[in-house]
Structure 1
Amino acid sequence: MTKLIDHRGNPIPWPSEQQLQTDESKLGHLKQHFAEHPSSGLTPVRLAAILRDAEQGNLISQCELAEDLEEKDGHIFSELQKRKLAMLNLTGRVAPPRNASEQEKKDAAWVQELLDEMPDFDDLVLDMADGVLKGFSNIELEWQRAGNDWFLGQAHYRPQSWFQLHPDDRNQIVLRDGSAKGAELQSFGWVRHIHRSRSGYPGRNGLARILSWPYLFKNYSVRDLAEFLEIYGLPLRLGKYPSGASDKEKSTLLQAVMSIGHNAGGIIPKGMEIDFQEAAKGAADPFEVMINWCERTQSKAILGGTLTSQADGKSSTNALGNVHNEIRQELRDSDLRQIAGSITRDLIFPLWMLNCKTAGDPRRAPRFVFDTSEPADLAHYSESLPPLVNMGMRIPLDWVHETLQIPTAEKDEEILTSAPTLPGMAPLAALKAQAVADADVVTQYTEQLQRVAQKPVTGMIDQIRDLVETANSLEAIRDGLLALDIPIEQLADAMSQALTVAGLAGRYELLQEAE
Structure 2
Amino acid sequence: MSSKGLWVSPTEFVRFAEPKREKSFTDHIASRSRSFDAQALGMYLPNPDPILKAQGKDITVYRDLRSQALVGGNIRRRKSAVLALERDLKRGKAPVRVERFIRDWLTDLDLDRIIRELLDASLFGFQPVELMWKPVGLQMVPEDLLGKPAEWFLYDQDNQLRFRARDAGLKGELCDPQRFIVARQDATYNNPYGFADLSMCFWPAVFMKGGLKFWVQFTEKYGSPWVIGKHPRGATSGETDLLLDSLEAMVQDAVAAIPDDASIEIVEAAGKAGSADVYRELLEYCRSEINVAMLGQNQTTEKDSNRASATAGAEVTKDIRDGDAGIVAAALNAAIRLVVDINFGESVDAPLYELWEQEEIDKTLAERDKNLTDAGVKFTPAYWARTYNLQEGDLVELPAPVEATPAVEFTEPVLRPVLDQAALDQAIADISAEQLQEQAEQALLPVIEALQQGRDGTEVLGLLAEVSPDLDATALQDRLARLMFIADTWGRLSAAADLED
Q: TM-score range by the shorter chain?
A: 0.5 to 0.7
The answer as to 2:340 corresponding to 1:352 is: yes
For residues 320-469 of structure 1, the aligned pairs below 5 Å read 320-345=309-334, 347-356=335-344, 359-361=345-347, 364-372=349-357, 374-376=361-363, 380-386=367-373, 388=375, 406=387, 419-421=398-400
Structure 1 Cα separation of the partners of residues 232 and 175 of structure 2: 72
**What SS does structure 2 have at the residue aligned with 1:180?**
coil
Structure 1 residues 419 and 51, CA, compared in 2 at 3 Å: closer, same or farther? Answer: closer
For residues 5-84 of structure 1, the aligned pairs below 5 Å read 54-55=52-53, 61-71=57-67, 73-84=68-79
Structure 2 Cα separation of the partners of residues 152 and 160 of structure 1: 21
Contact 1:144/1:153, CA 8 A, preserved across alignment: yes
**What SS does structure 1 have at the residue aligned with 2:174?**
coil
Contiguous gaps of at least 5 residues in structure 1: 1-7, 9-49, 391-396, 429-515
Q: Which residue of 2 aligns with 1:30?
A: none
Which letter does structure 2 place at the counterpart of 1:350? L
Structure 2 Cα separation of the partners of residues 54 and 297 of structure 1: 19
The answer as to 2:295 corresponding to 1:303 is: yes
Structure 1 residues 279 and 196, CA, compared in 2 at 3 Å: closer, same or farther? Answer: same
Contact 1:137/1:160, CA 8 A, preserved across alignment: yes
Structure 1 Cα separation of the partners of residues 332 and 152 of structure 2: 21
Structure 1 residues 234 and 278, CA, compared in 2 at 3 Å: closer, same or farther? Answer: closer
Cα offsets for 1:432-484 (capped at 9, x unmatched): xxxxxxxxxxxxxxxxxxxxxxxxxxxxxxxxxxxxxxxxxxxxxxxxxxxxx
Q: Which residue of 2 aligns with 1:441?
A: none
Structure 1 residues 255 and 200, CA, compared in 2 at 3 Å: closer, same or farther? Answer: farther
Q: Which residue of 2 aligns with 1:235?
A: 226
Contact 1:233/1:280, CA 8 A, preserved across alignment: no
Structure 1 residues 75 and 174, CA, compared in 2 at 3 Å: closer, same or farther? Answer: same
For residues 194-273 of structure 1, the aligned pairs below 5 Å read 194-196=184-186, 201=191, 205-231=195-221, 232-235=223-226, 237=228, 260-264=250-254
Structure 2 Cα separation of the partners of residues 282 and 190 of structure 1: 58
How many residues end up aligned between the 2 structures?
Answer: 349
The answer as to 2:148 corresponding to 1:154 is: no
**What SS does structure 2 have at the residue aligned with 1:374?**
helix
- Note the C-alpha offset of 1:380: 3.8
**What SS does structure 2 have at the residue aligned with 1:188?**
coil
Contact 1:375/1:405, CA 8 A, preserved across alignment: no
For residues 47-126 of structure 1, the aligned pairs below 5 Å read 54-55=52-53, 61-71=57-67, 73-96=68-91, 100=93, 104-117=95-108, 119-126=109-116
**What SS does structure 1 have at the residue aligned with 2:311?**
helix
Structure 2 Cα separation of the partners of residues 51 and 270 of structure 1: 68
Which letter does structure 1 place at the counterpart of 2:310? G
- Note the C-alpha offset of 1:271: 10
Structure 2 Cα separation of the partners of residues 349 and 271 of structure 1: 90
Cα offsets for 1:102-145 (capped at 9, x unmatched): x734323322222222x211110111111221112122221111
Structure 2 Cα separation of the partners of residues 144 and 305 of structure 1: 44
Q: Which residue of 1 aligns with 2:174?
A: 184
**What SS does structure 1 have at the residue aligned with 2:278?**
helix
**What SS does structure 1 have at the residue aligned with 2:178?**
coil
Structure 1 residues 110 and 415, CA, compared in 2 at 3 Å: closer, same or farther? Answer: farther
Contact 1:115/1:152, CA 8 A, preserved across alignment: no
RMSD: 4.4
Structure 1 residues 427 and 303, CA, compared in 2 at 3 Å: closer, same or farther? Answer: same
Structure 1 Cα separation of the partners of residues 330 and 315 of structure 2: 23
Structure 2 Cα separation of the partners of residues 184 and 249 of structure 1: 76
* TM-score, scaled to structure 2: 0.58
Structure 1 residues 53 and 68, CA, compared in 2 at 3 Å: closer, same or farther? Answer: closer
Q: Which residue of 2 aligns with 1:438?
A: none
Percentage identity across aligned positions? 20
Which letter does structure 2 place at the counterpart of 1:354? I
Q: Which residue of 1 aligns with 2:420?
A: none
Q: Which residue of 1 aligns with 2:485?
A: none
Structure 2 Cα separation of the partners of residues 53 and 291 of structure 1: 21
Structure 1 residues 249 and 417, CA, compared in 2 at 3 Å: closer, same or farther? Answer: closer
Structure 1 Cα separation of the partners of residues 95 and 201 of structure 2: 45
**What SS does structure 2 have at the residue aligned with 1:279?**
coil
Q: Which residue of 1 aligns with 2:283?
A: 291
Cα offsets for 1:56-77 (capped at 9, x unmatched): 997xx44322222111x11211
Structure 1 Cα separation of the partners of residues 90 and 65 of structure 2: 38
**What SS does structure 1 have at the residue aligned with 2:210?**
helix
Contact 2:187/2:193, CA 8 A, preserved across alignment: no
Structure 1 residues 240 and 69, CA, compared in 2 at 3 Å: closer, same or farther? Answer: farther
Contact 1:55/1:204, CA 8 A, preserved across alignment: no
Structure 1 residues 146 and 381, CA, compared in 2 at 3 Å: closer, same or farther? Answer: closer
Which letter does structure 1 place at the counterpart of 2:399? P
Structure 2 Cα separation of the partners of residues 191 and 204 of structure 1: 14
- Note the C-alpha offset of 1:191: 3.1
Cα offsets for 1:157-215 (capped at 9, x unmatched): 3223323x33535x544322231111222222223111239996355611111111111
Which letter does structure 2 place at the counterpart of 1:375? D
The answer as to 2:131 corresponding to 1:141 is: yes
Contact 2:119/2:327, CA 8 A, preserved across alignment: no
Cα offsets for 1:380-432 (capped at 9, x unmatched): 43442245578xxxxxx9xxx89x981799xxx9998953348xx6669xxxx
Q: Which residue of 1 aligns with 2:421?
A: none
Contact 2:232/2:261, CA 8 A, preserved across alignment: yes
Structure 2 Cα separation of the partners of residues 183 and 383 of structure 1: 59
Structure 2 Cα separation of the partners of residues 340 and 65 of structure 1: 28
- Note the C-alpha offset of 1:244: 12
Q: Which residue of 2 aligns with 1:175?
A: 163
Structure 1 residues 54 and 377, CA, compared in 2 at 3 Å: closer, same or farther? Answer: closer
Contiguous gaps of at least 5 residues in structure 2: 1-25, 27-47, 406-501
Structure 1 Cα separation of the partners of residues 280 and 314 of structure 2: 26
Which letter does structure 2 place at the counterpart of 1:225? W
Q: Which residue of 2 aligns with 1:451?
A: none
Contact 2:51/2:199, CA 8 A, preserved across alignment: no
Structure 1 residues 263 and 342, CA, compared in 2 at 3 Å: closer, same or farther? Answer: same
Which letter does structure 2 place at the counterpart of 1:325? A
- Note the C-alpha offset of 1:237: 4.2
Q: Which residue of 2 aligns with 1:487?
A: none
